[in-house]
Amino acid sequence: MQLLKFIQQPWHWSVSGLLIGLTVPVLLLLGNKAFGISSSLRHICAACFPADITFFKYDWKKESWNLFFVGGIVIGGFLAGHFLQDGNDIQVAAATQERLANYGVHDYSALLPPEIFSWSNLFTWKGGIFFVLGGFLVGFGTRYAGGCTSGHSIMGLSNLQWPSLVATCCFMAGGFFSANLLIPYFFKWFN
């Protein structure tokens, strides 16, 4: 019971940063594997939908470890979200609460604010823009950049790869632009 209480308490962000950072050398030492999540979708498509498409013609079984890694992330997230919560609302900084209040977000009882992320919002034009168009842009950007934020920003930067530095700077600039200009504009427009 003590261990469960220890796990359920809020942890400092640096713990996860350290563990994620240690994943890179462990993967490199154990089998010269590259950390990244977006490539797992390609592996799934190659495994489940064998077709005469050049992009999916490769030995995906060599990369099956990546599918187990992603499966572990999904299972770990499910277990943490359903069995390791302490029952209290999510702790959100006061400045963030003030900013989110401008967007109509006041409920912090779940991991994602239900005012934005709900099934009822998914089938509205607002949901179409945020989820469908946003999901497409994330997927397109991931393929266009040759990898996702974890692949470039964690693995690529640790290997001192110039394209990963460029991609990470673009990810950050796009994130700052979206969070400070696009999202406030869209919320004012939708409400």
Transcribe 150-174 into DSSP letters.
Answer: IIIIIIIHHTT-HHHHHHHHHHHHH
Please answer whether residues 40 and 151 qualify as being in contact, where contact means their C-beta atoms are separated by less than 8 angstroms: no
Residue of 63, 45, 38, 73 whose CA lies nearest to 149: 38
For residue 74, the model assigns a pLDDT of: 92
Q: Which of 66, 85, 104 is the last residue of a domain?
A: 85
For residues 187 and 136, state if they share a domain. yes
Residue ranges making up the domain that contains 147: 118-191
Total domains in the fold of the chain: 2
For residues 80 and 123, state if they share a domain. no
For residues 1 and 81, state if they share a domain. yes
For residue 75, the model assigns a pLDDT of: 95
Q: How many CB atoms lie within 10 A of CB 177?
A: 11
Q: Which two three-digit tokens encode residue 40?
A: 């797992």
For residues 53 and 133, state if they share a domain. no
For residue 162, the model assigns a pLDDT of: 92
For residues 141 and 184, state if they share a domain. yes
For residue 190, the model assigns a pLDDT of: 64
Residue of 161, 134, 139 whose CA lies nearest to 38: 139
Instruction: Please list the pLDDT of the chain residue by residue as tens digits (191 residues).
Output: 788 788 877 788 899 889 888 888 888 888 888 877 888 888 888 888 877 888 788 888 888 888 898 899 999 989 888 888 777 777 888 998 888 888 778 888 877 888 778 888 778 877 777 788 888 888 888 888 888 888 888 888 888 899 989 989 998 998 899 888 887 877 777 66
Buried (b) or exposed (e) across 15-27, using 16+ Cβ within 10 A?
Answer: eeeeeeeebbeeb
Q: pTM of the prediction?
A: 0.73
For residue 54, the model assigns a pLDDT of: 83
Q: Is 71 a domain residue?
A: yes
For residue 191, the model assigns a pLDDT of: 61
Q: Is 146 a domain residue?
A: yes
- Given the structure tokens 């089998």, which residue do they identify? 31
For residues 3 and 71, state if they share a domain. yes
How many Å apart are CA 93 and CA 100, to the nearest integer?
10
Secondary structure of residue 174 in the 3-state scheme: helix
For residues 4 and 45, state if they share a domain. yes
